[in-house]
Chain A
């Protein structure tokens, strides 16, 4: 019975329509987030606990292969760690670092963008030129630089406890510029509108105007960039870990697992590298599909298509 169904305005309903690919992408993202969150309860063993390693069963192939052990259905790595558990925990680490980096970058970028856009003048010049310089360096190079320096100055930086913090900082230092640019442009548009001018005439202080009046009106592009950047941040983390400056093998992320597996690929032990890699690809692809759709949805120039 459609009688009782609430009648959404036509535009609202159109916005809620999504293609099948996006629905699948969204479902995959939600599933992976849930699995990552619940890893300690789902995983058969704790891959971070060295006591659970069994060197006797190292390098076991997946369960569906002739020599496979049904207890390790994706096989084990060179330390005898259950690969399925390692991937679940690795995904958790990757998503946490990616999400953390996005959060830090977005907060930093939004604050700096608001300041630059609202005050203009030298505040704007300083913030945006620093951003330009940062963007002229490749993401990976900058991240390598930051984590390299951090490890040199601070010996603890490579440990499971501190590596995520360093990684988040190393990624966010590059990514905030994009948020700052977007927010700055949007802020300049909003600041010239009459409601902001009215707030200035009322005599409200700049901080109040920025937080209460401008911020809510510039946030929707930020949400879109954040989604798209989540995938990029996860990839950057994986790359850094693959290069050996990321998460340590004792607390592996997906990138670390791929790095470990990479050493064994040519000796026929392909599963250690391939399963984490496939997980990474699926995760990044799903997030990207959702992010692209969001971007198109919120792009006023593509409205009505």
Chain B
């Protein structure tokens, strides 16, 4: 019998702290990857999946160490004390693919030297042989015009091509095992689909074992053979993909898989354990009363009319042509009061520019944005800026690190004189914190004390503070874990129902959009190609681009899932 590409027995990784205590990042993990098999390692941030990857490659950060356990790669043991592979050359028997193809290639070297260097070093090839083999590899990973690309620098390649080069580099010494750490997270859906196909092909044709570290269940369902789900450094469930994803046994695995938004069916709420306390419900009731209180600008229809946004590079001081880039080419849509309107598309399609323009962060070249027939933020005859607020993608940069949370939320309240006194403004802020599901005492702390999901809740509370009628959400959950994402999505839905908010919801994730939105517009290179009610769009997409996007979404639904966990007993 051929030995396993990777076999991990009882692996424990410790991080000793300065004060003598120890954090166990990974404890007692067993894992096996057969040649030609793709084994997915999933879990939420902090689950220890990347730590395992790093331990395999001897890349553990300074205080971290393998406390016990045995790792074998291609049947040869790895020295656990040093994390080094004994008798195995790093980068020869193990190849690595990292998340960000921008940073995993050295920007100063051509593709040829990045690939050739390793082979000349490890395999002792001559320059010509290395070049020959580089060409073969580029062909194998499907890069067009490989001869020309050998001479290219990383910045001359697209994201997908870069990731292909990284994969070629991982393959160059014919490894028995490839560790792919979130290889497609930074890529668009269409590119992601190609890269996944390529990785699957490598496993099938070359018999390489692949350890795929990811948080995306869709990706797992798409390409993996086996899957291991981790929680807090421990394996909670492991087995063939169809079995684990189709009928998970462990409660955590069930919750995790249930939280993944589905593309096939729209659920009223995403199934996550309810975290609402009675306090939250009461606080929401009060927030509703306040929001509904003022009659001013009773929602009204948001109307975007023939919006054009151009970014100009002005001609320099000494002449030189001015070049203009049209990011948005005549986009029109309306959002009804209380509606959640989705805007989807791949990166660079102009959806974020639309959001920024609506929020007043970018100036339209022509066209108009009005709410209830009035412009927003205009000096005369316009609505106050506060009617429209925004929730941003990255919860880590969305909060001022030097302002206490309560201060940040109370700021707009005080600025718009929505509360009579400072004490009342602070009370309002505490109420908003409760309404988004946080403790009111949280206000006294600084943002760094909170997790990504909690920060996003705070950011939502701050957006609600000036009592807006309209919320623009730009990828509000794309940097969050699935279960947290589900909570935030539910929260946004609740707030819509609660305060009659209208929401413009921008996302690249079709499954999320399906769960959230009433109507959807699909954008491609600055234009809306299709606009329809959600169910209609998913049932019968009319534009070819929409059909393509829908077909490419890696989805759990290829594996028969239990009926929605909310839907009651399994039949």
A contact set with B: CB distance below 8 Å: 7, 10, 13, 193-195, 197-204, 208, 212-213, 216-217
Q: Are B466 and A195 in contact (CB under 8 A)?
A: no
Residues of B within 8 A of A213 (CB): 400, 403
**Can you list 23 residue pairs at the A/B interface with Cβ under 8 Å?**
A7-B19, A10-B18, A193-B398, A194-B392, A194-B397, A195-B397, A195-B398, A198-B390, A198-B398, A198-B459, A200-B360, A201-B389, A202-B386, A202-B411, A202-B462, A202-B465, A202-B466, A203-B386, A203-B416, A204-B411, A213-B400, A217-B401, A217-B402
Q: Are B359 and A201 in contact (CB under 8 A)?
A: yes
Q: Are B459 and A216 in contact (CB under 8 A)?
A: no
Q: Known contacts A7-B19, A193-B397, A195-B400; is A201 also within 8 Å of B415 by CB?
A: no
Closest Cβ of chain A to B128, distance in Å, is: 40
With the chains together, A231 CA to B102 CA distance in Å?
43
With the chains together, A213 CA to B415 CA distance in Å?
14
- Given contacts A193-B397, A204-B415, list 10 more A-B pairs with CB under 8 A: A194-B397, A197-B359, A201-B389, A202-B386, A202-B389, A203-B415, A203-B416, A204-B412, A208-B415, A217-B400
Could you count the A-B residue pairs with CB atoms below 8 Å apart for me: how many are there? 66
B contact set with A: CB distance below 8 Å: 17-19, 359-361, 377, 384-386, 388-390, 392-394, 397-403, 411-412, 415-416, 459, 462-463, 465-466
Q: Are A198 and B386 in contact (CB under 8 A)?
A: no
With the chains together, A198 CA to B385 CA distance in Å?
11
Residues of A within 8 A of B401 (CB): 217
Residues of B within 8 A of A198 (CB): 390, 392, 398, 459, 462-463
Q: Known contacts A10-B18, A13-B18, A216-B402; is A202 also within 8 Å of B397 by CB?
A: no
Residues of B within 8 A of A199 (CB): 411
Write the chain A residue with the least CB distance to B393: A194
Q: A interface, by DSSP: helix, strand, loop or mixed?
A: helix
With the chains together, A216 CA to B466 CA distance in Å?
24
Which of B385, B394, B399, B402 makes the CB contact (< 8 A) with A202?
Answer: B385
Q: Known contacts A13-B18, A203-B385, A203-B386; is A195 also within 8 Å of B415 by CB?
A: no
With the chains together, A193 CA to B416 CA distance in Å?
23
Q: Are A197 and B361 in contact (CB under 8 A)?
A: yes
Which of A10, A201, A202, A203 makes the CB contact (< 8 A) with B17?
Answer: A10
Closest Cβ of chain B to A86, distance in Å, is: 45
Write the chain B residue with the least CB distance to A213: B400
Residues of A within 8 A of B385 (CB): 201-203
Residues of B within 8 A of A217 (CB): 400-402
With the chains together, A255 CA to B128 CA distance in Å?
69
Q: Are A203 and B398 in contact (CB under 8 A)?
A: no
Write the chain B residue with the least CB distance to A205: B415
Q: Are A197 and B392 in contact (CB under 8 A)?
A: yes
Closest Cβ of chain B to A124, distance in Å, is: 14
Residues of B within 8 A of A201 (CB): 359-361, 385, 388-390
Closest Cβ of chain B to A132, distance in Å, is: 14
Write the chain B residue with the least CB distance to A11: B18
Closest Cβ of chain A to B150, distance in Å, is: 33
With the chains together, A201 CA to B358 CA distance in Å?
10
With the chains together, A195 CA to B395 CA distance in Å?
9
With the chains together, A235 CA to B564 CA distance in Å?
75
Minimum-distance CB pairs A-B, first 10: A203-B385, A194-B392, A194-B398, A10-B18, A216-B402, A193-B397, A195-B400, A202-B412, A194-B397, A201-B390
Closest Cβ of chain B to A2, distance in Å, is: 10
Residues of A within 8 A of B399 (CB): 195
Closest Cβ of chain B to A8, distance in Å, is: 9
Write the chain A residue with the least CB distance to B472: A201
With the chains together, A13 CA to B19 CA distance in Å?
11
Write the chain A residue with the least CB distance to B376: A203
Write the chain A residue with the least CB distance to B358: A201
Residues of A within 8 A of B415 (CB): 202-204, 208
Write the chain B residue with the least CB distance to A14: B18
Q: Are B361 and A200 in contact (CB under 8 A)?
A: yes
Q: Are A194 and B394 in contact (CB under 8 A)?
A: yes
Write the chain B residue with the least CB distance to A200: B361
Closest Cβ of chain A to B44, distance in Å, is: 23
- The residue in A10, A198, A212 that gathers the most chain B C-beta atoms within 10 A of its C-beta is A198
Closest Cβ of chain A to B506, distance in Å, is: 14
With the chains together, A10 CA to B465 CA distance in Å?
36
Closest Cβ of chain A to B399, distance in Å, is: 5
With the chains together, A201 CA to B400 CA distance in Å?
14
With the chains together, A7 CA to B21 CA distance in Å?
12
Closest Cβ of chain B to A11, distance in Å, is: 9
With the chains together, A202 CA to B465 CA distance in Å?
9
With the chains together, A198 CA to B471 CA distance in Å?
12
Write the chain B residue with the least CB distance to A2: B19
With the chains together, A173 CA to B388 CA distance in Å?
44
With the chains together, A128 CA to B177 CA distance in Å?
54
With the chains together, A208 CA to B386 CA distance in Å?
16
Residues of B within 8 A of A202 (CB): 385-386, 389, 411-412, 415, 462, 465-466
Closest Cβ of chain A to B361, distance in Å, is: 6
Residues of A within 8 A of B392 (CB): 194, 197-198
Closest Cβ of chain A to B297, distance in Å, is: 14
Write the chain B residue with the least CB distance to A7: B19
Write the chain B residue with the least CB distance to A304: B62
With the chains together, A7 CA to B398 CA distance in Å?
30
Write the chain A residue with the least CB distance to B391: A198
With the chains together, A90 CA to B415 CA distance in Å?
50
Residues of B within 8 A of A194 (CB): 392-394, 397-398
With the chains together, A7 CA to B18 CA distance in Å?
10
With the chains together, A285 CA to B323 CA distance in Å?
53
Write the chain A residue with the least CB distance to B408: A195
With the chains together, A197 CA to B474 CA distance in Å?
13
Closest Cβ of chain B to A168, distance in Å, is: 30
Q: Are B397 and A203 in contact (CB under 8 A)?
A: no
Closest Cβ of chain A to B458, distance in Å, is: 11
Closest Cβ of chain A to B362, distance in Å, is: 10
With the chains together, A199 CA to B463 CA distance in Å?
10
Closest Cβ of chain B to A242, distance in Å, is: 42
With the chains together, A7 CA to B17 CA distance in Å?
12
Closest Cβ of chain B to A18, distance in Å, is: 17
With the chains together, A10 CA to B390 CA distance in Å?
36
With the chains together, A10 CA to B15 CA distance in Å?
13
With the chains together, A216 CA to B394 CA distance in Å?
21
Closest Cβ of chain B to A119, distance in Å, is: 14
Residues of B within 8 A of A193 (CB): 397-398
Residues of B within 8 A of A13 (CB): 18
